[in-house]
Structure 1
């Protein structure tokens, strides 16, 4: 029995992944639509537009951080192809497990002659750094999650500053990456990440978390009828969103932390709003906006990736007279 060519297996996996991602995203939107439609009637157009704008900034900053890590390891992509690869691959987070986005990004990046191992390592580092930065930004909201009285955000923020220095100190970070890759039986990095790349990436990720939290702050003000002072509201919404989301990143079985983030965020927001139902309305609309932003960016990335043959199969490329290096290698192997 003849062996199935490698490119056919990969194409089948890509198609299956695309179908699963599309189904997962559709289910997430449909399940929440009735509540979302009711919430939309309570939010004025200005608040909805502002929240949507804040949501849209976060994935851009995350992509820029991912791109900076990739460049530091030797693959400096222009923003356009980087966005095409990153945003399409990001839909993989809506599948159970945390590896699907990394797999999709690695396969697409391979079309640009970026080693799959390098893309995979950058993807794993991105997840780890994003979780660390999210926890640091969310640390001031920890007393709200633990239901402790007092414990204003300033004191916890002061505690977070040395935590940032320790966790993102390049020698320690590179050591942790080396140990993690060894435990996963992966090849080590070609060279250590530079301090400048780590700081730039961390700044992008921290900015992404802040903008993500700001969209929650806008929604709380529009829906939740806050019962706390403005400073506490910022801590609960901005820092609370980062804390709930970063903790949800560890729930690898659930797609995109669905359910975990919402449950934690309701616990954090409820004391500062008129009711638990108001906090629940905020997180439902928040999930809708974040899913919508991911889909819109993925569609834009897909359009670019498709036009530059990062997603086309061999038959489609042959019709257009395009021959990629992997096609030539397959022909050579066949002969």
Structure 2
């Protein structure tokens, strides 16, 4: 299958899923309005959620920067933020390579080798997806009823303990030098390049997964505030929203075939949100969440450009 055909199929699938969600919205909206339901907008919470999105992505950048450091490369925090946010915008360009390509071009101008730039992205993505996947699985522990009796509902009361144990184990595994060597070995085969990074200590190895976990938790809190700014939601559901945000991202990323997980992420998010609110409201929020996320990314770009004026020797995107 050629890349062009695959991309076309991806767009068709994404469109089909979105059409299905809109159809559900159309068919059920009348029932919703009959109940007297009204959206309630809380502007301060919405603004706070956007600010937290920027903070979350700063945590993600720091996880990636610490990985670069373990590879013997150093970049300043402010430059790292700018490279991260600007490269993030490139994912909206058709094709799946522009985000990484933009990142590589920017950091290379700052003295980072192409090999280490690419390797750092592979390692970071491995960590981020591992943590997001585990967080996504936690959703069925927090909301076992969503699986229609496949899991004992009483397990929900143990969710905080299960989460603490599971993530402690995962962070320790990801921080181990042997894990780092394994990821580098696999990445070097993917890149078809010989890679011999400096030996990383366990103490330094803790930093990337901890920052990555902080990113997902902060992003989940931001998502909860976004929903709560439109539909009042109990704070007791915060853990569930952290889990569903990460889980929906993981599904979207793993879909591969659609651009930026378009359609798949919204579909899964609508399904998860549907366990808290009427279906049409869940659909509206799942579709609006992508716009909200893009708004946070644009805010981040504005912030880093204010912090550091554009340098003439860096590539324009």
Tell me the TM-score normalized by structure 2: 0.75
Is contact 1:262–1:283 with CA below 8 Å preserved after alignment?
A: yes
Is contact 1:70–1:122 with CA below 8 Å preserved after alignment?
A: yes
Is contact 1:223–1:278 with CA below 8 Å preserved after alignment?
A: no
1:310-332 C-alpha deviation (Å, 9 max, x unpaired): 1169xxxxxxxxxxxxxxxxxxx
| Equivalent in the alignment of 2:283 | 280
CA separation of 1:91 and 1:312: change in aligned 2, threshold 3 A: closer
Aligned length: 275
Q: Give the secondary-structure state (helix, strand or coil) at the position aligned to 2:275.
A: helix
Distance across 2 between alignment mates of 1:257 and 1:285: 15
Is contact 1:168–1:198 with CA below 8 Å preserved after alignment?
A: yes
Quote how far apart the aligned CAs of 1:77 are: 1.2
CA separation of 1:312 and 1:278: change in aligned 2, threshold 3 A: closer
* Runs of at least 5 residues in structure 1 that lack an aligned partner in the other structure: 1-23, 314-335
- More relative contact order, 1 or 2 (CA 8 Å, 6+ apart): 2
| Equivalent in the alignment of 1:326 | none
- Choose which of 246, 251, 255 in structure 2 pairs with 1:247: 251
Quote how far apart the aligned CAs of 1:185 are: 1.4
| TM alignment of 1:212-223, pairs within 5 A | 212-223=219-230
Is contact 2:174–2:206 with CA below 8 Å preserved after alignment?
A: no
Q: Give the secondary-structure state (helix, strand or coil) at the position aligned to 1:307.
A: coil
Distance across 1 between alignment mates of 2:188 and 2:223: 35
Q: Which has the larger radius of gyration?
A: 1
Q: Give the secondary-structure state (helix, strand or coil) at the position aligned to 1:131.
A: helix
| Equivalent in the alignment of 1:262 | 266
| Equivalent in the alignment of 1:298 | 301
* Runs of at least 5 residues in structure 2 that lack an aligned partner in the other structure: 1-10, 19-24, 26-37
| TM alignment of 1:97-108, pairs within 5 A | 98-108=96-106
Is contact 2:251–2:265 with CA below 8 Å preserved after alignment?
A: yes
CA separation of 1:253 and 1:106: change in aligned 2, threshold 3 A: same
Is contact 2:50–2:295 with CA below 8 Å preserved after alignment?
A: no
Tell me the TM-score normalized by structure 1: 0.72
Is contact 2:220–2:246 with CA below 8 Å preserved after alignment?
A: yes
CA separation of 1:104 and 1:247: change in aligned 2, threshold 3 A: same
